[in-house]
């Protein structure tokens, strides 16, 4: 993808029901606020929840921020994502390893950890909140917002 093409950003976690829907929602809001023209989606490396809406705890967390994500539907990372998206962002190290393992030779996407884009948080994961409590979803949302703001600054810059 050339430097002038519209960016396309894909957020990837394991199930596409907890973290990446929050990352997608936070980034959608920040991109809209900044007037950034960008394609946005999320996916999971696993297929267990394909077709499901986000986890009710993620839905509640987004709704607290005024964002309704109930219409999102989980999907699995697909081969064409590696050429359709300019940026593929992993929530944790395992996601990153799984994405890299599936990347075709002709991938054009820049693949990285989402928190690598937040100054001072390089290498950090957005921890999997699935087996956790509400506080873990709060942490996921806060990380997603910090990453969304940093990523918009980077792409708009
Ligand atoms: P996510 O969380 O990767 O943030 O969507 C998870 C969702 C489901 C499972 C694990 C993590 N699971 O084991 O089904």
45 Cα to the center of ligand 1, angstroms: 10
Q: Are 154 and 117 in contact, with CB atoms under 8 Å apart?
A: yes
Structure tokens at 63: 């709704």
Q: Would you say the CB of residue 19 lies under 6 angstroms from ligand 1?
A: yes
Over range 111-139, report the average pLDDT.
97
- Name the percent of the chain lying above pLDDT 70: 97
Q: What is the CA radius of gyration of the chain?
A: 14
* Residue 13 falls in the annotated catalytic set: yes
pLDDT of 157 over the 90 cut: no
- Marked catalytic residue, from 18, 19, 28, 143: 19
DSSP strand E in 15-134: where?
39-44, 87-90, 110-113
First and final CA of the chain: distance in angstroms? 17
Q: Can you give the pLDDT at residue 4?
A: 64
The predicted structure's pLDDT at residue 5:
82
How far is CA 144 from each of CA 18, 63, 67, 116, rounded to the nearest angstrom?
11, 14, 13, 12
Q: Which of 81, 92, 128, 143 is catalytic?
A: 128
- Residue-wise pLDDT for 39-66, tens only, equals 999 999 999 999 999 999 999 999 999 9
Q: What is the mean pLDDT of the chain?
A: 96
Task: For 79-124, write each residue's pLDDT tens digit.
Answer: 999 999 999 999 999 999 999 999 999 999 999 999 999 999 999 9
Strand partners, 10: 41, 88
Select from 140, 139, 92, 133 the least CA-distant residue to 116.
92
Pick from 107, 117, 140: which is nearest to 19 by CA?
140
Q: Does the CB atom of residue 43 touch ligand 1 within 6 A?
A: no
Q: Record the tokens describing residue 10, joined without a space.
A: 């894909």
Which mutation among 13, 15, 48, 90 tests ligand 1's pocket best, with the greatest number of atoms within 8 A of CB?
Answer: 15
């Amino acid at each position: 993808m050339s430097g002038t093409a519209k960016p396309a950003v894909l957020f990837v976690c394991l199930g596409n029901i907890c973290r990446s829907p929050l990352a997608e929602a936070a980034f959608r809001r920040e991109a809209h606020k900044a007037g950034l023209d960008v394609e946005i989606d999320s996916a999971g490396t696993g297929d267990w929840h394909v077709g499901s809406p986000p986890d009710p705890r993620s839905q509640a967390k987004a709704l607290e921020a005024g964002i309704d994500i109930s219409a999102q539907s989980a999907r699995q990372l697909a081969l064409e994502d590696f050429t359709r998206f300019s940026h593929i962002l992993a929530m944790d190290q395992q996601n990153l390893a799984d994405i890299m393992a599936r990347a075709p030779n002709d991938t054009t996407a820049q693949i990285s950890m989402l928190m690598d884009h937040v100054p001072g948080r390089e290498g950090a994961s957005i921890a999997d909140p699935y087996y956790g409590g509400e506080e873990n979803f709060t942490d996921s949302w806060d990380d997603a917002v910090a990453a969304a703001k940093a990523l918009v600054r980077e792409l708009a810059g």
